[in-house]
Amino acid sequence: MSPHSGLCLRGFGAGYHKRQIINNLNIAHLPRGKVTILLGPNGSGKSTLLRAMAGLNNAQGELLLAGENLLAQPFARRAEQVVYLPQSLPAGVHLHVLESIIVAQRASGGLHSAEQQAQVMDLLRQLGIEHLALHFLDQLSGGQKQLVGLAQSLIRQPSLLLLDEPLSALDLNYQFHVMDLVKRETQRRNIVTVVVVHDINIALRHGDHVLILKNGELVADGLPGDVITPQTLAQVYGVRGRVEPCSQGMKQVIIDGLT
Ligand SMILES: Nc1ncnc2c1ncn2[C@@H]1O[C@H](COP(=O)(O)OP(=O)(O)OP(=O)(O)O)[C@@H](O)[C@H]1O
């Protein structure tokens, strides 16, 4: 596949009014149809990077999607292509789940109502939360809200999907379910997806590609099995870890302690 069809960052910078967090970041190619996992310690700049890509923080340099620089586009045009799911949904929204997803769908130029509703219900079914369709958002649990946020993001049909810790409030079953769905939809829609997680084993198991940030700098960019090594675990997180095959042959990380 041509590298021009995916996402490429050149001399990318991001930060806040008085504080630059990321300087001159270069990422050669994040492929379409693949899930890239973004790892890094607390405060390393993961959310800042995702928010800047979505146009929600200051950004400089080039953010090329299929060769087109998103930073040069008006915000409304970029918002059609890029969806960012924050770590938590805004509080105090008194809509029911179905309405909130239809609002997101309309914001990106949706369909007519019967078709709209069928598409939303199908997505809720795939996420295993169709029973929550008529519940109010402000009466859901943390994990249920997170699943609704994911439905709001997926319904908008972005070309670049940025998910900031979408698993943090989910139980083990939903973590697997969500990563499977995100992977399936990323492939089916042939989009670029970047997911922030803290669980190294999720990255190993579900990532097609891994980026690791530390202090706003890229310290690894490659296949999960190539970049998640005892050396990077020590360098990035200050832990002693082993990467071992489990009984089914899949790689897993075991942490023995601090370095
Ligand atoms: N609104 C803000 N204004 C100024 N600095 C900020 C702001 N938000 C975050 N920062 C700073 O930017 C740096 C990177 O924060 P960021 O939230 O991007 O990290 P992260 O890698 O997503 O962390 P975590 O894993 O803890 O969510 C931190 O030092 C943080 O203090």
- Could you tell me what percent of the chain has a pLDDT over 90? 83
Of the candidates 40, 151, 19, 58, the one whose C-alpha atom is nearest the C-alpha of residue 96 is 151
| pLDDT higher than threshold 90 for residue 230 | yes
Domain count along the chain: 2
Shared-domain flag, residues 218 and 245: no
Within a domain: 200: yes
Q: Are residues 205 and 236 in the same domain?
A: no
Q: Which of 6, 155, 15 is nearest to 85 (CA)?
A: 155
Same domain? For 26 and 45 the reply is yes
Closest to 230 (Cα-Cα) out of 222, 241, 221: 241
* Residue 194: inside a domain: yes
185 and 247 in a single domain? The answer is no
Domain hosting 259: range is: 229-259
What is the predicted pLDDT for the residue at 114? 82
State whether 52 and 31 are in the same domain. yes
Same domain, 237 and 207: no
236 CA from centroid of ligand 1 (Å): 17
Pocket test for ligand 1, best of 44, 200, 212, 214 (most atoms within 8 A of CB): 44
Residues facing 22 on adjacent strands = 14
**252 and 163 both lie in a single domain:** no
In a domain, 115, yes or no: no
Q: List the CATH number of the domain containing 66.
A: 3.40.50.300
Domain identity same for 199 and 250: no
DSSP bridge pairs for 30: 7
Position in ligand 1 atom list of the atom nearest CA 198: 25
Residues with CB under 6 A from ligand 1: 16, 19, 21, 40, 42-48
Confidence of residue 112 (pLDDT cuts 50, 70, 90): low
Instruction: Convert the pLDDT of each residue in 175-204 to its tens digit.
Output: 999 999 999 999 999 999 999 999 999 999
Q: What is the mean pLDDT of residues 35-57?
A: 97
* Residues 183/205, Cβ–Cβ less than 8 Å: no
For the cut 60, the answer to whether the pLDDT of residue 1 exceeds it is no
Query: Does residue 99 have a pLDDT over 60?
Result: yes
Same domain for 169 and 84, yes or no, is yes
* C-alpha span between 73 and 254 (Å, rounded): 44
Q: Which atom of ligand 1 is nearest to the CA of 40?
A: 21
Name the pLDDT band for 4 (thresholds 50, 70, 90): low
How many CB atoms sit inside 10 A of residue 184's CB? 12
CA of 200 to the centre of ligand 1 (A): 20
| Beta strand extents in the chain (DSSP E only) | 7-16, 19-30, 34-39, 58-65, 68-69, 82-85, 160-164, 192-196, 209-214, 217-222, 239-245, 251-258
Q: Which two tokens stand for residue 46?
A: 């993961």
| In-domain check, residue 248 | yes
For ligand 1, mutation pick of 20, 48, 212, 217 (most atoms within 8 Å of CB): 48
Answer yes or no: is 25 within a domain: yes
CA distance 210 to 203: 7
Residues 219 and 248 in one domain: no
As beta bridge partners, residue 211 has 38, 221
The answer to whether residue 86 is domain-embedded is yes
Q: Are both 86 and 160 inside the same structural domain?
A: yes
- Give me the mean pLDDT over the 198-220 stretch: 97
Which pLDDT score is estimated for 2? 55
Q: Is residue 142 part of a domain?
A: no
CA 53–ligand 1 middle distance (angstroms): 15
Whether 99 maps to a domain, the answer reads no
Distance 82 CA to ligand 1 centre (A): 21
Assess whether 86 and 162 both reside in one domain.
Answer: yes
Distance in Å, CA 16 to ligand 1 centroid: 9
Q: Is residue 33 left, alpha or beta, with left meaning phi > 0 and alpha meaning psi from -120 to 50?
A: left
- ipTM confidence score: 0.99
Residue carrying structure tokens 């996420």? 127
